[in-house]
Structure 1
């Protein structure tokens, strides 16, 4: 039995590697065989790992199977629609898998551990800022892993003894620090070329120039991070905190800020390499990320073993990366099922929303284009609050509104708004991996995390995003 399990895991890993390679080859060569290989590998992986999926993964696959059967039965181009959905799912899975390799390298890096120690050992006055910004930076390379890494450190430092025996103080500290981690992580999806949201929006909404999108999203990210800081200060003003202004226990020597500088340099180098390759080769940043990130992960692993074995560092790094592939790729089965399944379902559903159908619907909506755009963005947030994955809503909205200009909706405005709403929704959706992780580590329900801890931030953020869209549209016109 153990031997069969091992064979299954190896085959699953090979399938994911095929997805990554086929997605890259397909982008550079436009060979139909590459897309076919990626789609076939996706189906193979799901068949191999279906037995080990969680309930959420099984539900998503059931929806995808139902959509496939219905589409093949009633849609005049059912086969093409299903293949398009599989190709879209394969691409998102390939991107997530490739980017996750950097996380595997980060998990064994002393640098990340030192950065985490610096962040959790801050006085209350700057604790939120350092934790949210630090979580934001580490999330670029660790993705969801940052919540586990820093969450464990926060829980370890936030003891009842450290709070002077006052449970109220310990609970307030937990809320503030875990909220900072979640919000910092979530805001990464507003701008990062390594995020799934970036890939989905670029694929779903055509006509968005990267040179315009990145600066716009950078400004929006700063605005939302500042909003989180302001709400934290208003919720826990210094006069109200009283004894909770005492810092967490400090180490014998104050931690150096040098690791944070090294982290900024590392993240900046990876992002620069991704964008530089995209510009030089005239390809989408998500494709260059699928090339650059695995190479960066290998180099990072080689650096980690360089001092002990300089000559063997390349070999040891290759072996460790291969071992991590075999462990981490099958372990992402549920993430692949949910992300890939949501992408597939959204792409198939969008095939029923023809431009003429959308035009007829919009003709009956008595709203100016900008208000309609804001309504769509807020609609995605509401849907996410009730369990509809953002990736489904974003794909439907993007693919359904293929002729954005004809409806008076600027593609950049809609893309910016949806990415901001996606990030805000990650702080409140009850089925999101981020809120589930924070709730589990904090010992509270997702309802507490989404409503009590982040409700004010998300509601205020939705207003900020709406105002931002209005200003951006005015500037573009």
Structure 2
């Protein structure tokens, strides 16, 4: 796996402030020290300021909105709102940077690349399910790195395949669609996703088991819905002879199983010892997992070589990976800040009264949430911002219009839908940059029908769950 356009390996102030932000946030999570919380705010403000030359128009616009909202909150004397917004910005920035550490170990893992190649070389009769499930599992570990890994592998395999240009185009479309669909639905249940981290803070009273079961069940159904749509749409496409892609080597399987077992063990051990939520435990588990994973990759050459590799990787993280993640860190942090402030300034009680007086059915209320997030995505409103805004408003309702677990599920479903239906969503834009295919083609044209089928299923879920 190669990387392009990386910044030079040199220490920069942005690396120092981001490392400080992450360290202060972890200390605040596990020890709840007030002055450390304030230090994390200072580190975040310095980080955002230093990131300005490294970010694009969208991030500049978000920071400008943050400044306007900050002045508004100060003028009206709502300092507690400012504190909550800063907490959210720090948390999201730290979360995405810490989870990104797993990607740093994966980029040199032969097992990860072997598994990716194995998925894309599956025979046609089982390729959709293999790529969908594989991108789903890879997304849990690599986050958006799953797109960076599988996208080029898919195009590489298509170029090397037989058939004319039209046939290769169909194969590329089917495989890329399977990948983005599988990746998108991790957000409805996976603790490693930003979505679940956000919803945990917005709806602490939501039943975690119910949310988990709803999410996992929906992710499985969406795999079948996507497979059915793919088979039906391309039922007349030329079929290749059945082929055997072989199997992964026992060593690769052991490596993959070991990675997952290590991450799960670390997360639940930290959760038990620290008495924190799973998402927060995962934040501390990630840097430990990076250290162990890199050591194992190089430990066969001796402990000294393994330790040297670990130090070299952390050197790279601090000097390259952290500055390179400035755009996503600013985007998530600023979106979370905006969502909290706008949510707090919205008259939640008035909206709640209107919903109650209008007698809006709970199923329709829940169905409206993913629709609003999806519509916001069409005009480049980040799903982070929409989820935080809507979640903040709903959490402030005197009487919730629906079960908190269902509300959280509805919001996460809307987030998932934006990745296959909004050309301006991060996943679609990233895949477009990697493949050279317009994001409107990847979403509206290739996945429009799948999105409509997913919405129909969600409405059925909301209708059924609110009639119990």
TM range (shorter): over 0.9
Q: TM-score, normalised by structure 1?
A: 0.91
Structure 1 residue 295 corresponds to structure 2 residue 277? no
C-alpha spacing 1:260/1:381, structure 2 compared with 1 (3 Å): farther
Kindly state the Cα deviation for residue 264 of structure 1 after the two structures are TM-superposed.
Answer: 4.8
1:356-387 Cα distance to aligned partner (Å, 9 max, x none)? 23323324544122321221232122212332
Over 4 Å off, 4+ runs: 5-9
1:171 aligned partner: 169
Larger mean CA deviation between 465-474 and 446-455 belongs to 465-474
Distance of 1:245 and 1:273 partners within structure 2:
44
1:88 offset after TM fit, Å?
A: 0.5
Cα separation, 2, equivalents of 1:405 and 1:264 = 46
SS at match of 1:241: coil
- For the Cα contact (< 8 Å) 2:95–2:194, is it kept in 1? yes
1:245 alignment partner in structure 2: 240
How far apart are the structure 2 equivalents of 1:211 and 1:278? Answer: 16
Distance 1:32 1:358, change over 3 A: farther
1:140/1:267 contact within 8 Å kept: no
Q: Is the alpha carbon distance of 1:247 and 1:176 closer, same or farther for their aligned partners in structure 2, counting shifts above 3 Å?
A: farther
The equivalences for 1:126-205 within 5 A come to 126-159=126-159, 162-164=161-163, 166-205=164-203
Alignment of 1:25-424 (within 5 A): 25-73=27-75, 75-77=76-78, 79-159=79-159, 162-164=161-163, 166-237=164-235, 240-242=236-238, 244-246=239-241, 254-256=246-248, 258=250, 259=252, 262-403=255-396, 406-424=399-417
Spell out, residue by residue over 1:398-439, the C-alpha distance to the aligned partner (whole angstroms, 9 max, x if none): 111125671431101111121122112111222222101222
Q: How many residues align?
A: 461
Q: Find the aligned partners of 1:385 and 1:464 in 2 and give their Cα distance.
A: 21
Q: CA RMSD in A?
A: 2.3
CA contact (8 A) 2:106 2:112 kept: yes
Partners of 2:181 and 2:226 within 8 A in 1: yes
Alpha-carbon spacing, 1:7–1:365, altered in 2? closer, same or farther (3 Å): farther
5+ residue gaps, structure 2, are 1-6
Residues 167-192 of structure 1: CA deviation (Å, up to 9, x unaligned): 11011011011111111111111211
CA 1:284–1:395 in structure 2 vs 1: closer, same or farther (change >3 Å)?
same
**Inter-partner Cα distance in structure 1 for 2:230 and 2:258:** 28
Per the alignment, residue 4 of structure 2 pairs with: none
1:389 to 1:268, Cα distance in 2 relative to 1, 3 A: farther
Instruction: After superposition, give the CA deviation of every residue in 1:112-132 in whole Å (9 maximum; x if it has no partner).
Output: 111011111111111111111
Mapped to 2, the partners of 1:378 and 1:301 lie a distance apart of 42
Once residues 48 and 273 of structure 1 are traced to their aligned partners in structure 2, the CA distance between those partners, rounded to angstroms, is: 33
Show CA shifts across 1:440-465 (max 9, x none).
Answer: 33322111111111111111111212
Q: 2:23 aligns with which of 8, 21, 24?
A: 21
Per-residue CA deviation, residues 188-239 of structure 1 (Å, 9 max, x unaligned), is 11211111001111111231132332222111211112211111111112xx
CA contact (8 A) 1:137 1:264 kept: no
Tell me which moved more, 190-199 or 401-410.
401-410
Q: 2:443 aligns with which of 444, 450, 464?
A: 450
- Report the Cα offset of residue 144 of structure 1: 0.7
Preserved CA contact (<8 Å) 2:352 2:397: no
Q: Secondary structure of 1:431's partner?
A: coil
> Are 1:358 and 1:401, in contact at CA under 8 Å, matched by a contact in 2?
no
Distance 1:119 1:200, change over 3 A: same
Q: Alpha carbons of 1:271 and 1:427: their partners in 2 closer, same or farther (altered >3 Å)?
A: farther
- 8 Å contact kept, 1:275–1:288: yes
> 2-side partners of 1:418 and 1:247: how far apart?
41
Deviation (angstroms), 1:268: 4.7
